[in-house]
Amino acid sequence: MKDVKNNPAMEEKKEQLQNIYSSVNKILDAIDTNQVTAESSDAYSQLPDGYYLSEVSKVEMTTSKSSGQPMVAWQFKTVEDGVTIDENLNKSLIKNTAKKTIFMYHVLKDQNSVERFISDALKFEGDEVGKSFLEKEYFTTAETLHDALDLLIGLRIWLHVDTDNNNSTWTRFVSWKRAAKLELE
């Protein structure tokens, strides 16, 4: 039998494994396993194309891991089963899609991306029908923008999931005006 201590390849592999264990342990320390069930992973499955009334469960300013750019990371929970809508506005229920998690990201890399983010954030309707929940003043500084994000937690909005010809899935915010035209309630 070979002595592991005198085998540099085995020592290196053992060290790599210890690094992996350390990384996984950090993640596991942050997880409340009492909240995880056998059905938990179903909440993260990809949703079929359609419209989903969703509630903001988390939103934060952070940094994109891939680009290093500032971004807004959203987490939504579908409130009820989604619907598809045909060209005649006939709706069909998409069963078993309630209580699913949707993640969205707005990377704030340039003027266009920031304008797109502001446009989406203004799609949350306030108490007054047809008026945005957030006022434009919230988008004048990063500090006020950060404050605005906290106000959006718990609000609901329609999200449209759509797969294009390249098999890329897109999730878009639906304005209250478009939701009314589509007769989404």
Residue-level pLDDT at 2: 54
Task: Output the pLDDT for position 25.
Answer: 74
pLDDT at 37: 61
CA–CA separation, 74 and 101 (whole Å): 10
Question: What dihedral do alpha carbons 43, 146, 119, 110 form, nearest 10°?
Answer: -100
Which pTM does this prediction carry?
Answer: 0.74
Q: Which of the residues in the chain have pLDDT under 50?
A: 41
Nearest by Cα to 117 from 168, 83, 47, 69:
69
The CA-based angle 117-60-102, given to 5 degrees, is 75
What pLDDT does 4 receive? 54
Confidence at residue 52, expressed as pLDDT on a 0 to 100 scale: 96
Q: Would you state the pLDDT for residue 3?
A: 56
Q: In the prediction, which pLDDT does 165 show?
A: 82
Structure confidence at residue 15 (pLDDT): 83
Dihedrals φ, ψ of 152, to 5°?
A: -85, -15
